[in-house]
Amino acid sequence: MTPRESIKILLDSMNEAIIGQEHIVNRFVMGLLADGNILVEGLPGLAKTRAVRSMAEAIESTFSRIQFTPDLSPVDVMGSERVYEEDGKKTYQIHKGPIFGNIILADEINRAPAKVQSAMLEAMEEHQVTIAGQTLKLPELFIVLATQNPIEQEGTYPLSEAQKDRFFMHVKIDYVTMDSEYKMIQMVQNEKHHKKVQKERIPQEMIFAARDEVGKVKISEALGKYIVELVFSTRYPMRYSKQLDVMIDVGVSPRGSLALTQCAQVHAWMKGRNEVIVQDVHTVIHDVFRHRIIRSEHTRFSGIQNDEIIDIIVKTVPLPEETV
């Protein structure tokens, strides 16, 4: 089995479990291949948890679900040093928390206090945690899929802009079509009456092999400069458009440049190409820029959303010469 065949099996398996949410499945796998964490925003009951669990079930991996609440503490997530007594002697052992999984569902991350969010994001960034003075590495296959609810903001601790920037992508999930919802009802009914058949799981080595192939996807100099120009249009909007200058207060960080490049490479690879084209960049730019642009006060009052600003950026920034 090739890495590409393995990823096709993963996509098919997840789409079978999550009917009508091809976009979210695609982005989850994209984050997995780019080795980047994802922030998912959507109303309750839109199968966010099911999507993450279906990914974990399809891969040889350990799944951890962390339900964030205001009373959660960092040790509940990271782990702690515990005292054990044997034959009258005290011994100290590290008890690892749920963060030491491969695929982590951080459910409603904005309900956790700042200390927990900070510890979580440090683990995401460094791929390691410190417990009782000991630094422990997290598994090589490690991805955090964090959710937040766009409503019911009372009692939450909104992520700061700097914390949001550490997420590779910010993906929005919406209601499915009527036809997909009916198929979902049928699927759940069938699951109740039929024992689920455990399929062969994809080895982690296939994920790493796929990442290696993604890294070899070429980006021309012209397209690389186009990606940088898209980013700079958010930092120096007056150079491109008075309209953008009025809309944007703070632009996309260097993390955004890297994320846009890697996501475009993954998208090209998933489409069976060995070189990135403009369409790959345009397909992923909203998910990469959405949480990195800070709107001006005027724009917020006007009700204009970041996705609308990104649409204007794509129309305003000149295409690379090789595609014109």
Domain ranges of the chain: 3-72+99-192, 217-323
Mind listing the pLDDT tens digit for each residue in 48-66? 788 888 899 999 999 999 9
Torsion-angle region of residue 213: left (phi > 0), alpha (psi -120 to 50) or beta? alpha
Side-chain-side CA neighbours of residue 267 (13 Å): 21
pTM for the model: 0.88
Q: What are phi and psi of 64, to 5 degrees?
A: -125, 130
Mind listing the pLDDT tens digit for each residue in 3-49? 999 999 999 988 888 877 888 899 999 999 999 999 998 777 667 78
129 contacts 95 by C-beta, under 8 angstroms? no
E strands, 63-198, are: 63-67, 79-86, 89-96, 103-107, 128-131, 134-137, 143-148, 169-172
pLDDT of residue 85: 77
pLDDT of residue 192: 72
Assigned CATH class of 3-72+99-192: alpha beta
Q: Could you tell me which residues come within 8 angstroms of residue 190 by beta carbon, excluding any fewer than 6 positions away?
A: none
Report angle CA 140, 291, 70 to the nearest 5 degrees. Answer: 75
Q: Could you tell me which residues come within 8 angstroms of residue 177 by beta carbon, excluding any fewer than 6 positions away?
A: 20
pLDDT of residue 149: 78
Domain 217-323 in the same topology as domain 3-72+99-192: no
Q: Which CATH number fits domain 217-323: 1.10.3210.10, 1.10.8.80, 3.30.565.10, 3.40.50.300?
A: 1.10.8.80
Q: What gap in Å lies between CA 78 and CA 116, rounded to an integer?
A: 9
Q: What are phi and psi of 100, to 5 degrees?
A: -85, 35
pLDDT class for 302, splitting at 50, 70, 90? confident
Q: What gap in Å lies between CA 218 and CA 276, rounded to an integer?
A: 6
Torsion-angle region of residue 268: left (phi > 0), alpha (psi -120 to 50) or beta? alpha
